[in-house]
A = this chain, B = another copy of it.
């Protein structure tokens, strides 16, 4: 793990557009950014572990981070996959001080680390920062509630279709998207075993979805919406 205070331009752009920081005024921004640290992590590196003291939260600048919990027998269940711009563990600020799940990079990643206590202090002083926190946490909550509804309401092919649609240009007609990560990660996000994702893709062939590697071609976006 390589830690530094320096930010690449690309990473800086992601950070500034992250829901947590977007919309902050200059002084709040400077205060937050001067206390964060940047680290570059290899793939499969643990960022935090369930049960550890929660003394920092993170914002993903590059790569993907998988949040998951383990069963007693060692089975893993993904709770959320964080993309560039997402923060995680930020909701422990005014709550518990113990991480409730594990976080692992799904590929080489760059993260901004924020010290809990420092941000807690800032949030108490600066209402703008408090508001940014509320927005970030609220956003997570919306996503998490959507996830429950998806799991409970839809079958595997439907969830896959929903995911594809969420990344398609809205219009009808045909479209082509590229998965930004491995299929096994997508499977986890959707609460599926990799085999089930594979079968879901192949069952979507009859509605005009073609998959080759990470490229997904959709013949008729509208048709996909009808299941």
Contact = CB atoms under 8 A, between A and B. Distances in A.
A208 B101 CA distance: 31
Copies assembled: 2
Contacts of A125: 127
A139 interface: yes
Interface residues on A, range: 35 or more
A49 interface: no
Interface in A85-131: 91-96, 100-101, 123-125, 127, 130-131
Interface string A180-206: 000000000001000000000000000
Interface string A130-142: 1101110111111
Interface of A: 69, 71, 75, 77-80, 91-96, 100-101, 123-125, 127, 130-131, 133-135, 137-142, 144-149, 151-154, 191
Given A78-B152, A124-B127, A141-B144, 18 more contacts: A77-B148, A79-B145, A80-B145, A91-B138, A91-B141, A93-B134, A94-B138, A95-B138, A100-B146, A101-B149, A123-B127, A124-B131, A127-B130, A137-B137, A137-B138, A144-B145, A148-B151, A151-B191
